[in-house]
Amino acid sequence: MEIRVNGKAESIADGSTVGSVLEAKELDPALVSVEHNGKILEKSDLDGTVLSEGDELEILFFMGGGGT
């Protein structure tokens, strides 16, 4: 099936979860926030959120910065 991740179309297996998409991308859930169809997901919901055709994910990365 096809979903959109950060605006780009991606094919994933039927029954995939948000957590499995992060795992496939080798992303640590502790280091990102995920928006699913416009709603920020709790970390505890990543593995239980099953994706459907046409869903949209935005994976937001935490960025550290230094002061001067």
| CATH number of the domain within which 36 lies | 3.10.20.30
- In this prediction the pTM is 0.89
* Residue 28 one-letter amino acid: D
Two structure tokens written together for 3: 């979903």
Tell me, yes or no, whether 68 lies in a domain. no
pLDDT of 42 reads 97
Tell me, yes or no, whether 67 lies in a domain. no
Q: What is the mean pLDDT of the chain?
A: 94
| pLDDT tens per residue across span 9-41 | 999 999 999 999 999 999 999 999 999 999 999
Domain count, the chain: 1
Tell me, yes or no, whether 66 lies in a domain. no
Owning domain of residue 28: 2-61
Coil, helix or strand for 53? coil
